[in-house]
Amino acid sequence: MQTSKKLNPITMTTHFRMASVSKQFTAMAIYRLHRQGKLNLEDSISKYLEGLPPRTQAITISHLLNHTSGLVDYESHIPTHQTAQLTDRDVLHIIADIDSVYFPAGTRFQYSNTGYCLLALIVEKVAGLSYPDAVKELIFKPSDIKRATVYPTPHDKERAYGYHPTSVGFRLADQSITSATKGDGGVYISMEEYLKWVNNQNPLWDESYKAHLEKYAVYVKDDVYYSLGWFFTRKGRDLFLFHSGESTGFHNIVVWNMTDNNVLALFSNRDDMKIAEVYDKLMKHQQLTFNLINIPLFLWLNKVYMNDL
């Protein structure tokens, strides 16, 4: 696929929209603020966000991080007259008018983009910076990541543009009404710099982080857990962290064996399910399987996002 209207080829330095793979960056920003003593993961989100309805008062930051908040899906409540792209603050305004939750906080797992939009607002409130600047200071700089960005990126000439396959080729499909929210999917990064991020040499993945990953883990299904922006499972001595991302024009997936520091990642700027087949072949070539997942991993994750497992 092209990276601009000039049909530039994709390289290791091309920036892809990470979609939900971005959640690991939002979670790390929250974790770092926690470690700095600026917030506590057990704080009520109402401490940082104004205007929340009464039934959300029991929700904590950790509930948002691990998709156990019960918050309603903002995408199901976008006003029919909405034409401008939504921001994270728009998401807060949407749910502020809905005094209901799907279930009491902490009682079950249900994947939630809403929660991660709110986490971005908490990052901004606590750090005293815009979300992009906070991610830069808290994550990109200590990880030696110099070119990654957070939407909007009007001057990013290295970014890929998203496409949707049709019967006669591909049509440009780079943005949707939900493409401007940041906390749930707004990071743009190249494969070159992503491999700096998911690397045991990165000082952010310290023993305290690993302890928190285990402490806040919630069970999903098929021997898979979720914690701090990652799905994870164990196979023997190995700890595998993984996530995918789906948005208009972009599908991505990554598995990181944190124990051996091996990464299998695939970024694409097309939004069909071709990635599921290709990545499944790559996993088989690497003899990478998970104990109880018997369908392509991208499809398994898609079902989690749709609450269809």
Q: How far apart are CA 28 and CA 33, in angstroms?
A: 9
- Whether the upstream peptide bond of residue 154 has omega within 30° of 0, thus cis, is no
CB atoms within 10 A of CB 74: 25
Task: Give the SS3 label for residue 165.
Answer: strand
Q: Can you give the C-alpha Rg of the chain in angstroms?
A: 18
H/E run at residue 140: none
Residue with tokens 């780079």: 174
* pLDDT given at position 5: 54
> Mean pLDDT in runs of 10 for the chain (309 residues)?
65 96 98 98 97 95 98 91 91 94 97 97 98 98 96 78 91 85 95 98 97 97 98 96 96 98 97 96 97 96 92
Q: How far apart are CA 52 and CA 17, in angstroms?
A: 30
* Position 186, amino acid: G
* pLDDT given at position 79: 86
Say if CB 46 and CB 56 are below 8 A apart.
Answer: yes
pLDDT tens digit sequence for 43-77: 999 999 999 999 999 999 999 999 999 999 999 99
Q: Which of the 8 DSSP states describes residue 154? A: T
Task: Give the SS3 label for residue 233.
Answer: strand
Q: Dig out the tokens for 291 from the structure.
A: 């104990």
Question: What Cα–Cα distance (Å) separates residue 57 from each residue in 101, 106, 294?
Answer: 11, 12, 39
